Every structure is written in C-alpha cells, then in structure tokens.
Amino acid sequence: MSFYDNRYYHFNKSTLCIIGQWPFQSRLKKTIMFSILVSFLSTLIGLQLWGLIMAIPDFGIVMDVVPSMLINNFIVIKLINCLCTKYKMKQLLEYVEEAWKIMHTRPECKILELYAEESRSLIVRYMVAFYSIWIFYCATPIAISKIYTILPTNKTYTPRFLYRVEHVLDTDKYYNLLMLHGFISVFYIVTVVIAVDCFFVLCTQHVCALFKCIKYNVERIQGSDFVLLKPNIADDEAYHALIDCIKLYKHALKLVLILDNFCIV
C-alpha cells in the first residue's frame, strides 16, 4: 500500500492518476490514462477549431466559440507544465513522504496531521465546487431539452449543445454521441484543473506544517526550566530540539526552493 493512499492525500493521488500525471504510477497505466485524456481533449479542441474556422463570417458564433477555446488552451498549458515538471513533482512528493516518516513517532506528527487535514478539507471543497460546475454545465442542455418535450407547446425546440457546432455538424443526428463526448471531455478538463491546483495546495500546506514544527521546537527550547553548563549531549533536550529545528529548516527550504521553481499555471 502506498503512503499516499491515506485519507489525507488520497484525492490528490486519484485526480493525478486520472490524468496520467501521478509520478509513482506505472508507465503502462500512465500512458493509457494520459492517452485517453489527450484523445478526448484533442477531439474537443479539433471540433471547436473547425467550428471557429467555419464561423468566421458570423461574428456572433465566433464570440460564442472563442471563450471555450481559450479555456481549453489554458488546460493544455497546464498539462504541458505537468509534463515539463514531472520530476519536480516526484521530488516534492518524496520530500513530503520523508518528513512524515521522520516525524511519525514524534510530537510534531500531530502538527503534520492538523495541516494535512486542513489540506484535505480545502481539496474536498474545491473538488465539490468544480465537479458541481461540470454537472450543471453538461446537464443544463439535456434538462432544457427534456422540459420542452414534456411541456405542451407549439414551438419547435432545437436542442442546444455544449458548444457551437450546429453550423458544421448535424447536431440532431449526432446529439447523443456529441453530448457523451462533451460530457467526458469536460470531465477531463475539470479534473486537470483540480489535480494541478490541489497538488500545489498539498505542497504549500506541508511546508506551512514544517515551519510550524520549527516554531514548536523553538518554543520547547525557550521553555526549558534549567540550563546545564556542561550538559551530557545524549540527555540534553534543548540540544536535540535545536538540531531538529536545523534539520526541519533545511528540509522545508528544499521544498520551498523546488516550489519556487515549480510553475503552477
């Protein structure tokens, strides 16, 4: 069982696995998941680009297509960023796991748990918000279409699609297929945003936890009731607390330097 299968980091691992960007994923699984993502995203962008080119004379359709095209380009940039920084992602996750192993039996473990729980709470809320938007965005055309079939009206209703392709494709004929494709494609788009942003939240919260641990050790030193002029190093709690502060600071500094060079788009 992987360390990241615990309740604190399970969602981070799951979302990154879905888009094939989990550093500890097997090469086969990573290739399969990333290929599925790319196939849906590329066909979605291809359809939108085709619709944009064919709609150039119609300014209204162009203005409808451009915003979604910009969002898709933003997602592509996020993916390229993940591919370019995959070794840094792995390094960051290894540092996080190492810190947990070092402090597993120490009082500072409670601090790590507190910040990890806060990170999990932020991630869950972020996921709920974005996946709710996904469901609402994709279900709205279907809901409106069903309402028009139920309500008695003489007006003919043309089913609306997630994006403007009715001028290049017969949306009545391929409606179900296009809706299924759009539903899955938007799911991947949302998951890319969640996976990348929540990974940054994980790392940031962990660094904050490390600095909180340093503060805890400094307070332990300040709270010492007695000072020995010639202490036995093996029994000197203040000495060991100071050494822990130095080690934690170096560890936190490594993470901060990697995060500083880790471009989150």
pLDDT digits (tens, 9 = 90+) for 109-127: 899 999 999 999 999 999 9
Res 126: pLDDT: 96
220: Cβ contacts below 8 Å, ≥ 6 apart: 237, 238, 241
2 HSE (CA, 13 A, CB side): 16
218 has a pLDDT exceeding 70: yes
List the Cα angle 73/128/91 in 5-degree steps: 65
Length of the chain: 265
Give 22's pLDDT tier (boundaries 50, 70, 90): very high
Give dist(CA 205, CA 49) in Å, integer.
39
Amino acid at 249: Y
pLDDT, mean over the chain: 82
Taking only the tens place, the pLDDT of each residue in 168-198 is 666 677 778 888 888 899 999 999 999 999 9
pTM: 0.85
Taking only the tens place, the pLDDT of each residue in 130-169 is 999 999 888 877 777 777 667 666 665 555 666 767 666 6
Res 187: pLDDT: 94
Decide: 12 and 4 in contact? Cβ < 8 Å. yes
